[in-house]
A and B are shown apart, each in its own frame.
Chain A
Amino acid sequence: MSTLRRRTVLGGALAPFAMGAAPAVHAQSGGKPYNGTTINCSCFQTTYYEYLKNYFPEFQEKTGIRVNFTMQAFPVYNQRTDLELSTKGSAIDACNITFIYSGRWIGAGWFTPLDPFLKDSKHTPADWDPDDFVSGAQSQMKNAKGETFAFTHEAGAMLNIASRYDLIEKAGLKMPETFDDLIKVCDAVDGKDNVKAFVADKLHHWNWIPYLMGNGGNVFKDPPANLTPTFASPEGIASADWYANLLMKYGPDGQLSYSDDQAMRAQMSGRANMRTQAITWGVPLVKDPESKVAKTTRFGLMPAGPKGNFPGSNSHGLGIPAGSRKKEAAWEFIKWALSKEMIARIVDKHGYPSVCRTSVIKSPKFKEVMTLNGQDLAAMYLEVLQLGGQTGYMKYRTVPVYPQVGDKINRAIDKIATKQQAAPEAMKQAQAEAIQDLKKAGFKVDG
């Protein structure tokens, strides 16, 4: 009792001093309520945050928040973050939501809805303008109820990138607009000047899908509502066979093991000509000082199939894990990192190409940065992103089970390309395995 009394007395005696000290502490922090706060953020290796890191001291000066930002290689980041998020721990305060994992991470409740921050003018001023983010890119960062869990910092729009357009011109042809044109061009230029006509990296479940859809096939019956796999349909089998032939007949030897970077290097060094891939991998062909094809690189839209044009598009966004204990500070960081002003600065200063804010994409500076060899890439980029947002054909990719199903597709295309199995056999086996996996994950499939 005596101790309690002493504490009460001491508390009472110190209270006026403490109350008086509070404003002093606030004054010491220079009006920065987050002074002394450190937040941990992470992402896979991406140029946006490499550039942004240079401005972290400005953010700390403005808000008092110190940012501890780590980046890892793409697969390493995804694996580590998947595990970390599943624990709902507080180790990460803001991190990237990877496109392919967005359905799974958001669906599992591992991220914080950002709508309360957006609706509260104390946290978000009106001119921050969340509607300025491209709808196609942003749609992957929402759940079925329309709640937003991240804002996008990087978008990928698939184009046809020809590193040796001069060879195509010399053959009297132009950038292919259809799948048939693509084969015609490949036939005409393959091997000329020791350059293979086509190259792709090993991620078939990204690269092949536009060809599948262009032929009238789809990965699932009606994603995300019905995830019954349909990629072994007659259209799917024919398309897989066609694509495997494209790889083996016109691609460099060993490309089945190529990473994104290796495929880009093959183009950059002038060993391979065309590649249908995200714009991020095409811009360095013109801008990288090591590139031998800077003057001969040209861009075109993804060739269309008989059933239409379905260029791949994706986006990666910055969100707040559900377990973070510093959500408000994390939101301050997201707000700053993805503000119009900051993105415009990164474009202006570093020529960043994968922007997701419409106002920046339409700005004269972005157009200037993205006019490469006389071509307006900004317009092509926006066209592809909007295409994905309008028809929603990219929804197949953000379903929670896509990593499993994509793995089956990768292996099936490999088997067809290396003639281990014929296309019907390989695709049917892959589809059966995908169904088995979906059931394992607790999803219902038709039949």
Chain B
Amino acid sequence: MRGATDVRRPLTQPLPLAGERRRNRFFILCVAPSLAVLAIITLLPALYLLATSFTPLNLTRPETAWDFSDPLISYRQLLTDDRLGNSIWVQVKLSFWTVTLQLLIGVALALLLNVKTRLLEALRTVYLIPMVLPPIVVAIIWKVIYTPDISPMHGIFRSLGWTVPALITDPHWALTSIIIADTWEWFPFTMLMVLAALQMLPQELLDAAKVDGASPWQLTRHVTLPFIQGVLLVAGLFRSIDSIKAFPLIYILTDGGPGSLTEVTNYYSFLQAFNFSYLGFSSAITVVLLAATIVLSWVIIRAVGWGVRVD
């Protein structure tokens, strides 16, 4: 009956302390099963990863499984591993260029497509195709494009009399070829988010600016961009985190090569775990990568903020 009384209470009127406690307990009870499932499927594997990183676990030597006698051995090995250092640098370059290009192309296209015509609405759907394709299919498409013998792109170049090297095995182009493919695959994500934000932009803001004599560039610079700043941050953050997980393109297109030119950190970690069986060392790399991702996200949020509320 008290519950029924509470339900009829106006929302603005605070609950008595005991009632509030009961309600909180009820909410906690409701959420508890979800939290428990979440803990089992995310927290436990993460804890196992952390624990493994403190062992020298090697699949071919079972005695190393729970050997905590030298818990920092894998972390010390990280410090002296030049190839890991190289992979981090490759990762930085890949993330920087892919995220930057995806944001620029995504915003540009969203601004162009933010007009209500049938043709442009159809175009929006077409632009979304790369993003909805399975990543492995994207990788195979680009493998065909980059393989000179069967590539339509190389065929066109040849017919024009241009000699273009095989991009994925050319040291000057290998990473760029991955950047191009990744940008093609993921710019629609940024475009979609920005487009959604643009469609919520109040027309009155634009009209007011126009009345004040703002040019199209000034409208974009002072009204549109501040309005979508938060969305851009979220999109950039998602893409930054996702770029750290880049895998299928590298696996299919370059295998981390030529040499180690396109070997990013998670690919290196994969090789250590699944080709060489160094699970302890691979876990240490992954823990560091995870920590770096969290720090990076925090720094970006702190530096840029969550955007400006214009309402």
Mask of A82-109 contacts with B, CB within 8 angstroms, 1/0:
1100100000000000000000100110
| Chain B residues numbered 44-85 whose CB sits less than 8 Å from any CB in chain A | 56, 58-62, 77, 80-83
B103, CB-defined interface residue at 8 Å: no
Summarize A's interface: helix, strand, loop or mixed: helix
Q: Which residue from A107, A202, A407, A411 sits with its C-beta under 8 Å from B60?
A: A107
- With A107-B60, A202-B255 already in contact, the answer to whether A418 and B169 are too (CB < 8 A) is yes
Q: Is A254 within 8 A of B258, CB to CB?
A: no
A319, CB-defined interface residue at 8 Å: no
A147, CB-defined interface residue at 8 Å: no
Q: Is B276 within 8 A of A257, CB to CB?
A: no
- With A415-B258, A418-B258 already in contact, the answer to whether A442 and B58 are too (CB < 8 A) is yes
A440, CB-defined interface residue at 8 Å: yes
* B194: min CB distance to chain A, Å: 35
Mask of A399-439 contacts with B, CB within 8 angstroms, 1/0:
01001100100111011011111000010000001001100
Q: Is B166 within 8 A of A253, CB to CB?
A: yes
On chain A, the number of residues with a Cβ less than 8 Å from chain B's Cβ atoms is: 38
Q: Is B255 within 8 A of A254, CB to CB?
A: no
Mask of B129-158 contacts with A, CB within 8 angstroms, 1/0:
000000000000000001111000000000
A252, CB-defined interface residue at 8 Å: yes
On chain B, the number of residues with a Cβ less than 8 Å from chain A's Cβ atoms is: 37
Q: Is A254 within 8 A of B147, CB to CB?
A: yes
Q: Is A104 within 8 A of B60, CB to CB?
A: yes
Name B172's closest neighbour in chain A (CB-CB): A418
A256, CB-defined interface residue at 8 Å: yes
* A424: min CB distance to chain B, Å: 15
Q: Is B276 within 8 A of A437, CB to CB?
A: yes
Name A88's closest neighbour in chain B (CB-CB): B62
Hey, which chain A residues are within 8 Å of B170, CB to CB? 418
Hey, which chain A residues are within 8 Å of B261, CB to CB? 420
Q: Which residue from B147, B169, B274 sits with its C-beta under 8 Å from A83?
A: B274
Q: Is B166 within 8 A of A442, CB to CB?
A: no
Q: Is B59 within 8 A of A252, CB to CB?
A: no
* B79: min CB distance to chain A, Å: 12
B260, CB-defined interface residue at 8 Å: yes
* A292: min CB distance to chain B, Å: 14
| Chain A residues numbered 42-87 whose CB sits less than 8 Å from any CB in chain B | 79, 82-83, 86
A394, CB-defined interface residue at 8 Å: no
Q: Which residue from B81, B165, B259, B276 sits with its C-beta under 8 Å from A253?
A: B165
* A433: min CB distance to chain B, Å: 7
Instruction: Report how far A344 CA is from B256 CA in the complex, Å.
Output: 43
Hey, which chain B residues are within 8 Å of A414, CB to CB? 257-259
Instruction: Report how far A164 CA is from B149 CA in the complex, Å.
Output: 18
Q: Is B59 within 8 A of A440, CB to CB?
A: no
Q: Which residue from B59, B171, B281 sits with its C-beta under 8 Å from A420?
A: B171
Instruction: Report how far A407 CA is from B276 CA in the complex, Å.
Output: 9
Q: Is A254 within 8 A of B149, CB to CB?
A: yes
Q: Is A442 within 8 A of B61, CB to CB?
A: yes
Q: Is B281 within 8 A of A440, CB to CB?
A: yes
Name A411's closest neighbour in chain B (CB-CB): B259
Hey, which chain A residues are within 8 Å of B80, CB to CB? 436
Q: List 30 A-B contacts (CB under 8 A).
A: A82-B277, A83-B274, A86-B277, A104-B60, A104-B277, A252-B148, A254-B149, A254-B165, A254-B168, A256-B166, A266-B149, A400-B60, A407-B276, A411-B256, A411-B257, A414-B258, A414-B259, A415-B259, A418-B170, A419-B171, A420-B171, A420-B259, A433-B83, A436-B80, A437-B276, A441-B58, A441-B60, A441-B61, A441-B278, A442-B61
Contacts A256-B258, A414-B258 aside, 15 further interface pairs with beta carbons under 8 A come to A82-B59, A82-B277, A86-B60, A108-B59, A252-B148, A252-B149, A254-B166, A257-B147, A262-B147, A271-B149, A404-B275, A418-B169, A420-B171, A436-B81, A441-B58
List the 4 shortest-distance A-B pairs measured between CB atoms, nearest first: A254-B166, A415-B259, A256-B169, A86-B59
